[in-house]
Amino acid sequence: MEEFKISWQSPSNIAIVKYWGKEKNQIPMNPSFSFTLDKSKSITTLIAKPKNQDSENKFFFDGIRNDSFGKKSFLLLEKISKIEPWLHDYSFDIYSKNTFPHSAGIASSASSMSALALCLTSLVEQNSKKKFSLCEFNTLASEYARIGSGSASRSIYPKGSIWGQNTSIANSSNAFAIDWSKEIHPYFLQIQDAIFLVNRNEKSVSSSAGHELMNQHHYRASRIVQANQNLIKLLQALKTGDWNTFVEISEEEALTLHGLMMSSNPGYVLLEGDSIRLVHYIRKLRSEHGLPVCFTIDAGPNIHMLYPSSRATEILDHLKLEFPEYFSEDRIIFDCVGEGPVCVSE
Ligand code: PMV
């Protein structure tokens, strides 16, 4: 047994059809689609050392030991060790950092869990003493990432990916995400995502608690039908470059997600005043100025404004006038569709 060291950089993603609600073992209640982001990434190094009596797993964030930040990572290691019991013979040092500030209020679990899952897949590949095909490697990495955090399963692929089974999508699976990069019209590959950081604090109700509330939700059955239908419509729009249908689905999904939260028992509201102001303003830019711009929202108050790069200047000029504080206080992350994870081991 030898020491093994590997580093992967992996991005976050932004869902257009949202995963919301899950069964046991991180099996999604409905299928989802996301764009892989470019700039919001985690960089994770995994060092596996042959275990001795006093070795323990350690987690370092930004180079400083912080085991409480590493809880999700340790849990993922534990779960993968059940599948690959020889991992118990190692102790692990995990070094992780993000390209976005920890307190930005944007979830880091998709990027961090996918980066760690990729490191573990590299270790499993080396232990198997055979070279995995790209498809084998990515499928396994996506499955491990899903076990860490559902939406992380989609971050493994460039550009865009689908996670969750739908009978009319060949190879779609609840266990792992699939690559959808070849099915996206070039118009959508230049989509920009300006993330307005309405509130950088940790949200009051976690995604895990939100998923759980879907188990008993009055709208559960119809939500499953809606997500499946929206996914099929979205894939057609992505293929043909149909922006108007994309806008309809993106905003319907975002508002549905928050509608489901509000109508849970107990209900809760993550949107804030500025979230609503931004939603109205983005719609006004479309209806009154004819600009191609829309929004999506994750499980938090921040607004993701989506628009083609070809119209960025005009759109951002309007926002600078209406929401100047976001520009002057560095409260926007400018991201776009990205190329997926990279192995960065030297
Ligand atoms: O992967 P989780 O458990 O953090 O859930 C994320 C759910 C949403 O971000 C709201 C939607 C999605 O599909 O990413």
Per-residue model confidence as pLDDT tens digits over 260-318: 999 999 999 999 999 999 999 999 999 999 999 999 999 999 999 999 999 999 999 99
Q: What are phi and psi of 96, to 5 degrees?
A: -135, 145
Ligand 1 neighbours, Cβ below 6 Å, are: 15, 18-20, 32, 107, 109, 149-151, 207, 257, 298-299
Q: Tell me the average pLDDT of the chain.
A: 96
Q: Which two tokens stand for residue 345?
A: 């081991």
Q: Is residue 346 scored above 70 in pLDDT?
A: no
User: 223 and 217 in contact (C-beta within 8 Å)?
Assistant: yes
Per-residue model confidence as pLDDT tens digits over 223-272: 999 999 999 999 999 999 999 999 999 999 999 999 999 999 999 999 99
Q: DSSP labels for 206-253?
A: -HHHHHHHTTT-TTHHHHHHHHHHHHHHHHHHHHHT-HHHHHHHHHHH
Q: Which residues of 122-156 are buried (b: 16+ CB within 10 A; e: fewer)?
A: bbbbeeeeeebeeeebbbbbbbbbbbbbbbbbbbb
- Residue 246 CB: number of other CB atoms within 10 A? 23
Per-residue model confidence as pLDDT tens digits over 135-158: 999 999 999 999 999 999 999 999
CA of 150 to the centre of ligand 1 (A): 7
CA of 50 to the centre of ligand 1 (A): 35
Q: For a substitution probing ligand 1, which of 18, 174, 296 has the most ligand atoms within 8 Å of its CB?
A: 18
CA of 21 to the centre of ligand 1 (A): 9
Q: Which two tokens stand for residue 253?
A: 């999904």
Give me the pLDDT at residue 52, please: 87
Separation CA 8–CA 334 (nearest Å):
22
